[in-house]
Amino acid sequence: MTDPGPFTEDVVGQIMRHMNDDHADDCLTICRALGGRPGATAARMTGLDADGIEFAVTDGGVEQPVRIPFAERLTERPQVRHEVVRMTEEARAALSG
């Protein structure tokens, strides 16, 4: 990971718990479409910093790290939600069409 920017360890932990508990399907969709893992069967968020989000992705029965860059460097926590929503929508569109 690069410079964490405004994202302390506590903040990252809160975001990871939320993503993994409430948005596991979105994590998988993002990794399949934007992370180059179309055959992935599971994904869980493992970290983030100001420049990207990290996942552990199960593909072919093996767990592998995947890092997906954000569209721009994030400078505050509310931007994370907007960026993850953007990524999810982009990933769904890519997989459906």
Residues in the chain: 97
Long-range contacts of 23-30 (CB under 8 A, 24+ apart): 23/84, 23/88, 26/84, 26/88, 27/55, 29/88, 29/91, 29/92, 29/95, 30/55, 30/68, 30/84, 30/87, 30/88, 30/91
Structure-token match 């410079």, residue found: 3
State the Cα–Cα distance between residues 49 and 44, nearest whole angstrom.
16
pLDDT by 10s per residue, the chain, length 97 = 455 668 999 999 999 999 999 999 999 999 999 999 999 999 999 999 999 999 999 999 999 999 999 999 999 999 999 999 999 999 999 999 7
- Report in angstroms the alpha-carbon separations of 89 from 75, 82, 86: 22, 11, 5
